[in-house]
Amino acid sequence: MATLTRLTRSTAPTARFALRLQPFSSFLRHGAVVRRGSTMASGSETTRFDFLVIGGGSGGLAGARRAAELRANTAVIESHKLGGTCVNVGCVPKKVMWNAAVHAEYLHDHGDYGFDAENVKFSWEILKAKRDAYISRLNQIYRNNLDKAKIQTIQGYARFTDEPEPTVEVNGRRFTAPHILIATGGQPSVMSDDEVPGASLGITSDGFFELETLPKRSVVVGAGYIAVEMAGILATLGSKTSLIIRQSGVLRSFDSLISTNCTKELQNNGVDLWKNSQVKCVSKTDRGLEVTIVTKDPEKKNDEKVGTIEGVDCLLWAIGRKPNTSGLNIGSLGVDVDERGHIIVDEFQNTTRSGIYGLGDVCGKALLTPVAIAAGRKLAHRLFEGKKDSKMDYSSIPTVVFSHPPIGTVGLTEDEAIKTNGKENVKIYKTSFTPMYHAITSRRSQCIMKLVCVGKEEKVVGLHMQGLGCDEMLQGFAVAIKMGATKADFDNTVAIHPTSSEEFVTMR
Amino acid sequence: MLYCHTINSLSFKSQDCFQFLLGFTTPPNNNSVKPHFSCPAFTTQYCLAGKCDYDLVVIGGGSGGLACSKEAAQLGQKVAVLDYVEPSAKGKTRWGLGGTCVNVGCIPKKLMHQAALLGAAVKDARKYGWQIPGTVCHDWTTMAEAIQNHVKSLNWGHRVQLQDKKVKYLNLKGSLVDECTVRGVSKAGKETILTAKNIVIATGGRPKYPTNIPGAMEHGITSDDIFWLKKSPGKTLVVGASYVALECAGFLTGIGLDTTVMVRSIALRGFDRQMAGLVTDYMEAYGTRFAWNSVPKRVDKLSSGALQVTWTDTETGCEHKDCYDSVLWAVGRAPETKTLGLDKLGVQLNEATRKIVVGADESTSVPNIFAFGDISEGRPELTPTAIKAGKLLARRLAGQSTELMNYDNVATTVFTPLEYGCVGLSEEEAERRHGEEGVEVYHAFYRPLEFTVAERDASQCYIKVICERGGDQKILGLHFTGPNAGEVIQGFSLSFQCGATYPQLLQTVGIHPTCAEEVVKTHITKRSGFDPTVTGC
C-alpha cells in the first residue's frame, strides 16, 4: 500500500512558518505576474499564477509538473519537505524498513541453502542513516525536478484569505490563480489524553521513522494495513511486539481469506496478538511505559479482562488517518468537507467552489500514491490541455500490503461481489501451496490465492493473495482485470515455470 | 534405497502442484511389472475390436507425459505411462519420475538460483544494517542434499499421483513395435509388451556433447549432472550461451565459485538482443567471467586432476589455455528419438533436428501415434507448454474436446542472476514484421528500491514495451529485467493474451513501491531519444 503518514504537529500549523523562502526575484524570473492587491487594506502584493498547488506530495507534484509541461505557470506551496507522505514518512522509508526485515528472514534461511552466516547482529542506526540519506537525495531530486520545470516552490503553510477571489497567503505573501489545487494529504490520527489517559506517550507512524534505535518492546495499536506493516517490521527486526486490535482479525476491509490469513501469519511471525482489546491507559514508569489493556469476551459482553504490558519503549498508534485541512481556512471559501473533514470532490476533482480542486489523501478516497499521481496528471490535462473528459478511474485499483509475507489485492472481495451480484452468480477459485523457495527451508509460509468471478462468462472481478512475491505479482494481473479478463482468459495463458504467479493461470 | 522426508507442509509446488503427503517413505525402487497379456498379432484391427491393454500408452514420464496420462485417466481412459532414465554419459547420473523439469531442469535450477540470490542478499544485508562477522562461505553439499531430497520427494509425489489417478506406471524403456504396440524393457532386460488404442511419445530431450572436441565427453559434465554432484564443481567452465548455460553459470557464481562462460558468438539466441546484452552485462558486473568469441579445442586431464581447456579466440586466432575443476557443456539439447523405433514405423522426423514432425493436434505421420513436448519439432521447450499440450491432447483423444494447444503468447523467464522475463516479440522480430516505422518502443531504466540502500548498480534493470505504432497501439512484446521477473511477467502475459494495448497498460494504477509498477509507468519512446531513466516516485 502506498501512503502512510505525515509528521505529527503538536502546534497549530500556522504558528510555525518554515524558514526557507524563495528569493522574490526568482518569481519574476519565472514570469509570474505581480500586482498590487486591490482588495487588501494592508496593501501587500498578490502574485498570480495559472496554477497554484497547495501540497508538495505525490499528487500535488505530479499535477504541477504535468501542468508546467502544458505551459501553465505553476507554483507549489509546501510546508515541510518535498515528496509528501510517500517519500518522507510513508511508502518509501516503509519499504526500506520492510526490505531490511526481509533480510532478517533470508538470514534465517541461509543455513538451509548452504551459507554459514552466523552470529548476525542488526544495527538500526546504520539502516536509519542510510534510509535518511536516501530520502534526502529524493527530496533533492524532487526539488531539482521542480526547478527544471520552472515551477515555483513556495515554502510555508498556506492559508486561504477571506477575499472574494480565492487567494492563498503564505508567510504574509499572497498568491492566486484561476486554478488552485488542494493536495495537502493527511496525517495519522491520535488518541487524546482525554480518551485514553497517557495516550500522548505514544508515537504514530511518523514517529516510527524518527526512532533512533530498535525498540526492545513494542506495542502497536490498530488493525489496518499500517498497523500490520509496522508490527511486522518491528517483530521481524527483533523487537518483541504486541498488536492490539479491537476485534478478532486484522485488515477487516480486505477479503475474508486475506484477513484471516494475515492474522494467522502475524502470530506465526511471533507477534503477540491481543484480540477484542483496547488500550485503557498508559503510564510512564522508570522501566518504560506501562500499557493497560481491556479485553472483552465477544460472547459475553460484560466479561472484561484487564491486562498490562510493561517495559514498553515504543507505543505506536496506527488507528487511522485524518485529512490536513486545519489551518487552510477552507470554511470561508465555500469548499465543502465531509463529517471527517475530507474535502468533497466530484469525479473530476472539482470541489464545491469553482476553480478549487482537491485530490489525494485530503479527499479520503483510495489513499495511495499512484492514485494521487494519476489524478493530478489527469486534472492538469483537463485544465491546461482542454481534455474535458480527463479524469481518474477509481475502479480496480491494485494495492499491496508489505506484511510478512506480502499481500496483493485488486477489485472486489468475495463478500462485495456477492452483495452486488448475488451468491448464485459468484464463483470462487482458491489455492494454497508452499512456495518453492521454502521447499528446503525450515522457516515456511504458505501462499494463498483467490479469484472472485462473476456471471456466466466468469469475469474476474477480484484477485486476492498473500505469500512470498505477491507484491511483484499483482501489477500485470491488475492490467488484465481492468481489461475485463475472464477465468477463461486466465486458463488460456501459458504458465511461467517455476513461479508462484503461475498458480493463477493453472487454477481449477 | 530408502530415505525419510522431514517435509511437513500440506502441499508443495511442483510443476503440476500436487497435494503432498505427510512424512512418508519411498518404497524400494524395483518396480514389480505385472506380466502383460501379449499376442503375436498386434494389429490396429485388434485394438479397434476393443481388446487393447490400454486406451492410451504414454512413453515418457516428464511434465508433459504425466499431465497427459493423468488427464486421460481422469476422463475414464485406461492409461499406462512408461518412464526410464538412461544414466548420463559422464556422471552416470540417474533420477526418478518427473522428467527434465523436476530432476535436472526447472526445479533444481530455480532452487540453486535461490541459493545464489541469497548469496547476493548476504552482501545487501550488510548495507541494511545486518552485521555478519567474517566472510560467508557456501557449502555445496548442504545445498545439494536439500535440493536432491526435495526432488526425490517430488519423484515420489508423482508416483503417488499416478497411483491415485489409476495410471499404470512402468519403469521401462519404451519403444514402438507397431502403431498400437509398445515394447517396454526393464533395467534387467525383461521385456513387456503393451497394446494401446493411442500412443503418445513424450520422451523429451537430453543435453548434447560436442562431437569434435577431444576430451569433451570423457572429462565434461552437462546439466544432467550438475544438480546431482555430491561435491562442489569448483572452478567451472560453462561452454555455451543458451539460457541453460547462463543460468548454470549464474548460480555457480552466486554461491561463490569462479565461473567462466565460453561463448562462440552471441548469448541467448532467439531472445531480444538488447535484453540479452543486459543479462550478460549484469552477470559480468557481478563476477561471472565471459570468454567471448571463443571456441573450445580440447580438454585434457592433468596429473593434478585439473582439466586443462584449450580454446581459440576466433577474432584474433590466438590459442588460450586455462585449468578448471569442472567443464560443463551447455551446447544444446537433442531429442530422445534414437531408440524409439520410429524409423521402422515411418514416423517422420525433421532431418536436421531429429525431432518428430507434428501437426497442430500433435499427430505424427503415423495414425494413432502422437508426440509433443521437447521431442516435437518447432515447439517451445518449456514445461508449462508441455503440460498444457498434454492435457489438451488427452481430452481430444478421449473425445471430450476439439480444442488445440495455442503455442502463441507464451511467456518465459530466464533465471539468471538478474532475471529476465518476456512475452511476445523481440524488438528485432517486431521491426521485421511491422517495419521500423510501424513499431513504437516505450522503455525505462529503473532502480529497484531494494537496490538503493544496498548500493547496488541497477544499470541493467530495464523495461521495454514494444507496441504497434498506429491504431490502438497493441502490445507486440513486453520485456523486463529485474528482481522477481518471473513473478512480474506472468500477469502481464495474461493481459497480453487478452490483447492489451499500450493505453490499457497506462490506465492501470501502479503499485507503489514495486518494480512491476514501472511497466505501467513507461512513457519515454526510444524514437524520442529522451533519457529513459526513471527518477523519483
pLDDT at B41 > cutoff 70: no
The contacts found for B188-192 with CB under 8 angstroms, 24 or more apart, are: B190/B33, B192/B33, B192/B35, B192/B36
Rounded to whole angstroms, the Cα distance separating A482 from A490 reads 13
State the average pLDDT over residues B493-506: 97
Residue A166 lies in a domain: yes
Residue A285 lies in a domain: yes
- pLDDT score at B89: 87
Domain boundaries, chain B: 54-207+334-398, 208-331, 418-526
State the average pLDDT over residues B134-151: 96
Name the pLDDT band for A331 (thresholds 50, 70, 90). Answer: confident
State the average pLDDT over residues A75-99: 96
Residues A50 and A184 in one domain: yes
Count interface pairs A-B at CB distance under 8 A. 314
Q: Provide the CATH number for the domain around residue A478.
A: 3.30.390.30
Residues A402 and A416 in one domain: yes
- A385: cell is 490541455
* Chain A from 436 to 475: CB within 8 A of any B CB: 436-440, 444, 446, 469, 471-475
Name the pLDDT band for B48 (thresholds 50, 70, 90). Answer: low
Residue A391 lies in a domain: no
Residue A101 lies in a domain: yes
Residues A293 and A196 in one domain: yes
Residues A168 and A291 in one domain: no
Sign of the CA dihedral running A418, A422, A424, A425 = negative
Return the beta strands (E) in B64-180 as ranges: 79-82, 130-131, 167-170, 173-178
- pLDDT score at B50: 62
pLDDT in tens, A236-286: 999 999 999 999 999 999 999 999 999 999 999 999 999 999 999 999 999
**Residues in chain B within 8 Å Cβ distance of A398:** 508-509, 511
pLDDT at A225 > cutoff 60: yes
Containing B192, the helix (H) or strand (E) segment is strand B191-201
**Mean pLDDT for all residues in chain A:** 91
Name the pLDDT band for A298 (thresholds 50, 70, 90). Answer: confident
Pairing of strands B294-301, B307-313: antiparallel
pLDDT in tens, B320-342: 999 999 999 999 999 989 899 99
pLDDT in tens, B206-234: 999 999 999 999 999 999 999 999 999 99
pLDDT in tens, B476-495: 999 999 999 999 999 999 99
Question: Under an 8 A CB cutoff, do B17 and A433 touch?
Answer: yes
pLDDT at B35 > cutoff 50: no
Residue of A142, A398, A482 lying closest to B511 (CB–CB):
A398
* Chain A from 138 to 157: CB within 8 A of any B CB: 138, 141-142, 145
pLDDT at A145 > cutoff 60: yes
Classify burial at B322, counting beta carbons within 10 Å of its beta carbon; exposed 0-12, middle 13-18, buried 19 or more: middle
Residues A298 and A329 in one domain: no
- In angstroms, the separation between the Cα of residue B379 and the nearest Cα of chain A is 13
pLDDT in tens, A400-418: 999 999 999 999 999 999 9
pLDDT at A1 > cutoff 80: no
**Residues in chain B within 8 Å Cβ distance of A373:** 510, 537
pLDDT at B318 > cutoff 70: yes
Name the pLDDT band for B385 (thresholds 50, 70, 90). Answer: very high
Radius of gyration of chain B (CA): 25
Question: Under an 8 A CB cutoff, do B491 and A469 touch?
Answer: no
Residues A182 and A53 in one domain: yes
Report domain B54-207+334-398's class.
Answer: alpha beta
Structurally, how many domains does chain A consist of?
A: 3
**Residues in chain A within 8 Å Cβ distance of B494:** 476-477, 480, 485, 489-490, 493, 504-505
Residues A230 and A336 in one domain: no
Name the pLDDT band for B5 (thresholds 50, 70, 90). Answer: very low
- Give yes or no for A121 touching B (CB within 8 A): yes
User: For the ranges B12-21, B71-80, B245-254, B526-535, which has the lowest average pLDDT?
Assistant: B12-21
State the average pLDDT over residues A208-230: 98
Disruptive mutation site among B5, B10, B11, B13 for chain A (greatest number of A CBs within 10 Å) = B13
pLDDT in tens, B249-260: 999 999 999 999
pLDDT at B3 > cutoff 70: no
Rounded to whole angstroms, the Cα distance separating A380 from A74 reads 11
Architecture of domain B208-331: 3-Layer(bba) Sandwich (3.50)
Q: Provide the CATH number for the domain around residue A243.
A: 3.50.50.60
User: For the ranges A26-40, A228-242, A360-374, B516-530, which has the lowest average pLDDT?
Assistant: A26-40
User: For the ranges A327-331, B150-154, B196-200, which has the lowest average pLDDT?
Assistant: A327-331
Q: Tell me the CATH number for domain B418-526.
A: 3.30.390.30
pLDDT at B38 > cutoff 60: no
Sign of the CA dihedral running B8, B10, B13, B17 = positive
State the average pLDDT over residues B138-162: 97
Residue of B115, B385, B493 lying closest to A113 (CB–CB):
B115
Q: Which of B205, B200, B186, B3 is nearest to B88 (CA)?
A: B205
pLDDT at A119 > cutoff 50: yes
pLDDT in tens, B265-307: 999 999 999 999 999 999 999 999 999 999 999 999 999 999 9
Disruptive mutation site among A88, A472, A500 for chain B (greatest number of B CBs within 10 Å) = A472
- pLDDT score at A303: 85
Residues A181 and A295 in one domain: no
Please name every residue paired with A400 in a beta bridge, in sequence order, or none if there are none: A408
Evaluate whether B54-207+334-398 and B418-526 have a shared fold: no
Residue A393 lies in a domain: no
- pLDDT score at B49: 54
- B488: cell is 512480474
State the average pLDDT over residues B510-524: 96
Residues A232 and A162 in one domain: no
Q: Is B247 marked within a binding site?
A: yes
Q: Which of A96, A499, A463 is nearest to B490 (CA)?
A: A499
- Give yes or no for A429 touching B (CB within 8 A): no
Pairing of strands A407-411, A459-466: antiparallel
Residue A432 lies in a domain: yes
Local structure of residue B501 (DSSP, 8 states): B
pLDDT at B241 > cutoff 90: yes
pLDDT at B24 > cutoff 60: no
Question: Under an 8 A CB cutoff, do A504 and B17 touch?
Answer: no
Domain boundaries, position A479: 398-504
pLDDT in tens, B468-477: 999 999 999 9
- pLDDT score at A45: 84
- B148: cell is 536432491
For residue B126, is it left (φ>0), alpha (ψ between -120 and 50) or beta? alpha
Q: Is A111 marked within a binding site?
A: no
Name the pLDDT band for B141 (thresholds 50, 70, 90). Answer: very high
**Residues in chain A within 8 Å Cβ distance of B106:** 497-498
Q: What angle do CA A218, A127, A88 make, to 5 degrees?
A: 80
Name the pLDDT band for A17 (thresholds 50, 70, 90). Answer: very low
**pTM for this one?**
0.90
Residues A478 and A414 in one domain: yes
User: For the ranges A170-184, A329-343, B9-23, which has the lowest average pLDDT?
Assistant: B9-23
CB atoms within 10 A of CB B86: 12
pLDDT at A10 > cutoff 90: no
pLDDT at A486 > cutoff 50: yes
Residue of A nearest to B453 (CA): A130
Q: Is B242 marked within a binding site?
A: yes
- Give yes or no for A399 touching B (CB within 8 A): yes
pLDDT at B442 > cutoff 50: yes
- B44: cell is 490396429
pLDDT at B387 > cutoff 90: yes
Residue of A83, A127, A498 lying closest to B13 (CB–CB):
A498
Q: Cα dist. B252→B149, B308, B483 in Å?
A: 20, 19, 18
Return the beta strands (E) in A44-191 as ranges: 45-48, 51-54, 74-78, 121-122, 152-155, 158-160, 167-170, 173-176, 179-182, 186-188
Verify whether residue B443 is a known catalytic residue.
no
Residue A411 lies in a domain: yes
- A442: cell is 525450515
Residues A339 and A371 in one domain: yes
Q: Is A229 marked within a binding site?
A: yes
- Which residue among A343, A364, A385 closes a domain? A385
**Mean pLDDT for all residues in chain B:** 91
- Give yes or no for A131 touching B (CB within 8 A): yes
Residues A235 and A156 in one domain: no
Q: Which of B370, B442, B423 is nearest to A502 (CA)?
A: B423
Question: Under an 8 A CB cutoff, do B146 and A112 touch?
Answer: yes
Question: Under an 8 A CB cutoff, do B514 and A472 touch?
Answer: yes
- In angstroms, the separation between the Cα of residue A419 and the nearest Cα of chain B is 25
Residue A295 lies in a domain: yes
Question: Under an 8 A CB cutoff, do A433 and B13 touch?
Answer: yes
